[in-house]
Amino acid sequence: MIQFLNSIFIVVTIFFPFISSFENDYTSLKEFGFKDVVESVIKCISLIDNQACNELFVPPEANMAVQYKLSNQLSNICSELGFRGDLGYQVFLYCSEIEIRKVLSFLLEKI
């Protein structure tokens, strides 16, 4: 299971270089910040359904209200795509490693 989850991280950072506008070299998803998580999820969603996230982007200096709104939108889109389980704004806002892995796994399977 850990090997599978690590492979997801490798796919996201190596095979999707267009996602990798990351400013740091990461070794684990737990090192991702809000901006990195959201950019990765938005890019994956755009590969599944380009219309779903046309107007979604991460402003360079997103305040808490913007982060909340964006997190809520992403959780709604993922649910509409068929994500099963509890998925709310807090998954993206607080960057839970386990939950982010579940979401990225789901999105990569959909791709």
> What is the full per-residue pLDDT of the chain (111 aa) written as tens digits?
555 666 666 555 544 554 445 556 666 777 778 888 888 888 888 888 878 777 777 777 778 998 899 999 999 999 999 998 888 888 888 888 888 888 888 888 887
SS3 92: helix
Decide: 34 and 94 in contact? Cβ < 8 Å.
no
pTM: 0.75
CA dist list (Å): 5 to 1, 12, 24, 80: 6, 11, 20, 23
